[in-house]
């Protein structure tokens, strides 16, 4: 036996020489330079554009952009599809952008994603969803890089690495995966009250969508449209899904993750494959430059939205996704999005988060895909590129000639400036700036709770209950009681009822005032914090609730599970199946085993889905047809498990006449969400109307009482 030389101990000691921590140390750059302000990027005035000379921001962001190989640092898990956007309105008075002119059709590639999880994480995490659209316009590529939530956690890009570090798995143990319910996230959030509005959204059902096809998209920031006279107009971009906006219950999301962690990805792919092409309307909120300071909030603040009651959304056109990728890696994984990919007629605003993203995304793509990532087919512009950049990593194009510089005469001065031939090209919107060079934040960004309160007040009773439950769940996972107390104090600034209910679940009496540590950090950005803000223009906004209005909604592409066994009546199946399919929904037979199923009438069909391989959480509603199969189902515990879960998740459950004994044996309580054929002549209409509302949420409210 070989003698132990102690080499393992030597290696351990060498490792320990590099162990360090930050306790009691001043914050520095990677070169050890003490940092005076780590919350604000260097700007021209506290509402002006960020400066390229901000070496501290670049030092921090470049390190952050290179932290992981080969995944995206954020938005690693994605799903995507090709499609087309058709412009149907005339806004030529606001912009020269070619793809925003009446009647123009533009190819698009859309990538949906979760933010926090790694590439292999579940689709159903409670998380922000990325909603990024690449327009292949005739003037070059334009990327609208947004989310399914219209606001964000932070106001300045300087804090972005810190936010992501806080929500990612804790670095000492790399857990939890794709989850915000842990100490480091809520430690960070409880110290920056600017996150209060975003927390309301992320704790709502918006953060666990039923489908990628059933969520809104937002540009988040204020951008600018620029017309041919050079006049700018602030713009907020909205994507509104034709199928409505729907979420799932939190317990249901956890179960879906267990049965099918690819639920959203698979569902998008299958619907496009079936020609159930998802559609969104593109809408805009237009704000004249002279109204920039008109409102109680600052339109440059990315933690604020513009209520639709103040500035209605004007619908411009429709996007249709009609083709799945041929190769996931070549397209979905290599797609490179960048908010700095602009075309003439669209420009950025001085939003300090957006200003930082313009550098970060470009830097990330260069690092992740190489210096010529724009030559990868999925990223290529339809009108191709013409410049003198011939070298660099992963070069695909082969450019002829001896010229790689500008200006030149060797290549007849080509490629030439657009201005030399009287052609249009990209020009930044001209605005006059006269300000000091500072690291500061405008006091117009200092109201952190009014819009958080607006969002909570705008929710229906069940949506408010879900926010309370989500906050209670998340904060119950936090081990440090001081962090919990700090966050409950923030909730108390939003709404006392909200804080009281969450506090009750955590055994915390909501503190009246913000924690001193929270105030200390807030005052680093606003020395006189708290600053009394203007009164909010609206107290409730209908657009912020996901509740379906009476008489509206659709069941198109919804899946209804037909719970069957041998001997089921084909007539009973067809009676509802035909009606559902006429409404665009899909009926899926769930049997006891795969293979042949024999109908009462003697015919057979093939079963592909079973009680053990599927679960009610993967479907929108349940239906039990009649026939001798009822006796078989009466002795099948898996059948009753399906009923129990669907009932708990407030789904519509329908029963044909002759199935009453199944209801009696089950644990479900008959309510308005239980539809029985024997009770109503128009029972199928009742079922469809209920499904249009997505769920019978009153059931959960009744169970809470």
List residues with catalytic annotation: 75, 147
Residue 36 has a CB neighbour count (10 Å cut-off) of 9
Strand, helix or coil at 414?
A: coil
- What tokens does 635 get? 């002795």
DSSP category for residue 607: E
CA gap 473, 249 in Å, rounded: 13
Give the burial string for 344-359 (b: 16+ CB within 10 Å, else e): bbbbbbbbbbbbbbbb
The H-or-E segment that residue 606 falls in is strand 604-607
Tell which residue, 132, 489, 19, 541, has the closest CA to residue 311: 541
Asked whether the bond before 352 is cis by omega within 30 degrees of 0, the reply is: no
Element (H, E) at 466: helix 461-476
Residues 454/539, Cβ–Cβ less than 8 Å: yes
CA distance 259 to 264: 12
Written as six digits, the tokens of 10 are: 């030597």
HSE (CB half, 13 Å, CA atoms) of 354?
Answer: 28
Beta carbons within 10 angstroms of residue 555's beta carbon: 23
Nearest to 162 by CA among 521, 553, 668: 521
Give the residue from 60, 56, 70 showing the smallest Cα distance to 162. 60
Cα distances from 501 to residues 125, 195, 208, 427, in angstroms, run 24, 20, 22, 52
For tokens 């936010």, the residue is 163
DSSP strand pairing (314-323 vs 595-598): unpaired
Three-state SS at 226: strand
The neighbour count for residue 703, using CB atoms within 10 Å, is: 11
Cis peptide before 151 (omega within 30 of 0): no
DSSP for 52-118?
TT-HHHHHHHHHHHTSSSSS-SSS-EEEEEEEEEEE-S--TTT---GGGSTT-EEEEEEEEEESSS-
Q: Considering only CA atoms, which of 309, 307, 304 is closest in space to residue 197?
A: 304
Q: DSSP letters of 356-411? A: HHHHHHHHHHHHHH-TTGGGSGGG--TT----S---STT------SS--SSS-STT
What is the pairing mode between strands 609-610 and 586-591?
Answer: parallel
User: What stretch of H or E contains 675?
Assistant: strand 674-676
How many Cβ atoms from other residues are within 10 Å of residue 640's Cβ?
18
∠ CA 95-235-51 to the nearest 5 degrees? Answer: 95
Give me 75's structure tokens.
């938005």
Using an 8 Å Cβ cutoff, are 242 and 173 in contact? no
Give the Cα separation of 85 and 144 in Å (integer): 13
| Contact present, 449 and 196 (Cβ < 8 Å) | yes
């Amino acid at each position: 036996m070989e003698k132990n030389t102690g080499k393992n101990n030597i290696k351990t000691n060498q490792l320990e020489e590099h162990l360090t921590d930050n306790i009691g140390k001043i914050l520095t750059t990677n070169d050890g330079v003490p940092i005076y302000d780590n919350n604000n990027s260097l700007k021209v005035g506290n509402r002006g554009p960020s400066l390229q000379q901000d070496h501290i921001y670049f030092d921090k962001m470049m390190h952050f952009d290179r932290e992981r190989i080969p995944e995206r640092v954020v938005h690693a898990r994605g799903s995507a599809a090709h499609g087309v956007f058709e412009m149907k309105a005339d806004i030529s008075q606001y912009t020269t952008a070619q793809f925003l002119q009446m009647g123009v059709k533009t190819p698009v590639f859309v990538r949906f994603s979760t933010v926090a999880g790694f590439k292999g994480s579940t689709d159903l995490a409670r998380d922000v969803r990325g909603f990024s659209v690449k327009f292949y316009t005739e003037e070059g590529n334009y990327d609208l890089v947004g989310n399914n939530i219209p606001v964000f956690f932070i106001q300045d890009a300087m804090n972005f690495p810190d936010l992501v570090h806080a929500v990612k798995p804790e670095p000492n143990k790399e857990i939890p995966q794709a989850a915000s319910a842990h100490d480091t996230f809520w430690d960070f959030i409880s110290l920056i009250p600017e996150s209060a509005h975003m927390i309301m959204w992320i704790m709502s059902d918006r953060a666990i969508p039923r489908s990628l096809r059933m969520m809104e998209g937002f540009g988040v920031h204020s951008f600018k449209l620029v017309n041919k006279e050079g006049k700018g107009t602030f713009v907020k971009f909205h994507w509104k899904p034709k199928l409505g906006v729907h979420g799932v219950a939190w317990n249901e999301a956890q179960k879906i993750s267990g049965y099918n962690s690819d639920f959203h990805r698979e569902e998008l792919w299958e619907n496009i494959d079936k020609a159930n092409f998802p559609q969104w309307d593109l809408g805009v909120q237009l704000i004249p430059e002279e109204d920039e300071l008109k409102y109680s909030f600052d339109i440059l603040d990315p933690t604020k939205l513009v209520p639709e009651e103040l500035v209605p959304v004007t619908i411009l056109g429709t996007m249709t996704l009609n083709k799945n990728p041929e190769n996931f890696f070549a397209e979905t994984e290599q797609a490179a999005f960048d908010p700095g990919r602009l075309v003439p007629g669209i420009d950025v605003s001085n939003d300090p988060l957006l200003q930082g993203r313009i550098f970060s995304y470009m830097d990330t793509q260069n690092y992740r895909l190489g210096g010529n990532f724009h030559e990868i087919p999925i990223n290529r512009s339809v009108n191709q590129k013409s410049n003198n950049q011939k070298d660099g990593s992963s070069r695909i194009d082969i450019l002829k000639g001896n010229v790689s510089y500008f200006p030149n005469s060797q290549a007849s001065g080509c490629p030439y400036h657009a201005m030399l031939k009287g052609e249009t090209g990209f020009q930044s919107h001209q605005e006059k700036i006269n300000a000091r060079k500072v690291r500061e934040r405008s006091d117009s960004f200092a109201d952190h709770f009014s819009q958080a309160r607006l969002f909570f007040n705008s929710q229906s009773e069940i949506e408010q209950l879900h926010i309370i439950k989500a906050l209670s769940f998340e904060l119950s996972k936090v081990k440090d009681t001081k962090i919990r107390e700090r966050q409950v104090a923030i909730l108390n600034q939003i709404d006392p009822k909200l804080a009281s209910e969450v506090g009750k679940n955590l055994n915390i009496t909501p503190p009246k005032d913000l924690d001193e540590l929270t105030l200390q950090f807030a005052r680093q950005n606003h020395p006189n914090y708290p600053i009394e803000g203007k009164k909010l223009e609206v107290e409730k906004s209908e657009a912020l609730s996901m509740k379906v209005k009476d008489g509206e909604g659709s069941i198109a592409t919804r899946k209804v599970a037909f719970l069957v066994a041998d001997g089921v009546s084909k007539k009973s199946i067809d009676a509802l199946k035909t009606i559902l399919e006429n409404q665009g929904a899909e009926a899926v037979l769930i049997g006891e085993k795969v293979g042949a199923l024999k109908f009462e009438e003697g015919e057979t069909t093939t079963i592909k889905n079973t009680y053990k391989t599927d679960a009610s959480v993967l479907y929108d509603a349940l239906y039990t047809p009649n026939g001798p199969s009822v006796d078989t189902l009466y002795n099948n515990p898996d059948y009753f498990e399906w009923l129990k879960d669907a009932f708990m998740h407030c789904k519509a459950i329908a029963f044909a006449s002759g199935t009453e004994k199944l209801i009696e044996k089950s644990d479900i309580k008959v309510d308005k969400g239980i539809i029985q054929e024997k009770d109503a002549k128009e029972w199928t209409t009742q079922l469809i109307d209920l499904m249009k509302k997505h769920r019978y949420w009153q059931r959960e409210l009744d169970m809470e009482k």
